[in-house]
Amino acid sequence: MEDTPMDDGTVALETPADNVFVPPSIHHAATLSGETYTHFSAVPPSLLPEPNTTSPSPSNPSSNQPSPTSPPCVLGVDEAGRGPVLGPMVYGVFYLPVELSDPLLKQTHHFDDSKVLTPAVRSHLMQSLCTPSTDLFDSCGWAVSCLSARDIGANMLRPATSAAYNLNAQAFDATVELIKGVFARGVNIAEIYVDTVGPPATYQAKLARVFPTTKITVAKKADSLYPCVSAASVCAKVTRDAALEVLYEARAAGDAARGEEGEDGQESWGSGYPSDARCVSWLRRNMHPVFGWGPECRFSWGTAKDMLETKGGVKVEWPVEEDDENSRLTDYFADSSKEKDADELGSWFGTPAGLEAF
| Cα gap 50→333, rounded to integer Å | 64
Q: Would the pLDDT of 311 be above 80?
A: no
Give the pLDDT score at 313: 58
Give the chain's domains with CATH numbers.
17-245 (3.30.420.10)
CB–CB of 149/57 below 8 Å?
no
Residue 13 has what DSSP assignment?
Answer: H
Condensed to tens digits (0 to 9), the pLDDT of residues 156-203 reads: 888 766 677 899 999 999 999 999 999 999 999 999 999 987 889 999
Please tell me which residue, 78 or 358, carries the higher pLDDT value.
78
DSSP-derived secondary structure for 227-294 = HHHHHHHHHHHHHHHHHHHHHHHHHHHHHHHTT----TTS---TT--TTSHHHHHHHHHT-BTTTBS-
pTM: 0.78
Confidence of residue 290 (pLDDT cuts 50, 70, 90): confident
What average pLDDT score do residues 247-276 get?
A: 74
| Helix, strand, coil percentages in the chain from 3-state DSSP, rounded to 5 | 45, 20, 40
CB–CB of 115/14 below 8 Å?
yes
Q: Is 265 left (phi over 0), alpha (psi -120 to 50) or beta?
A: left
**Which runs of E-coded beta strand occur in the chain?**
37-40, 50-57, 60-69, 73-80, 89-97, 141-147, 189-195, 215-219
Q: Would the pLDDT of 89 be above 70?
A: yes
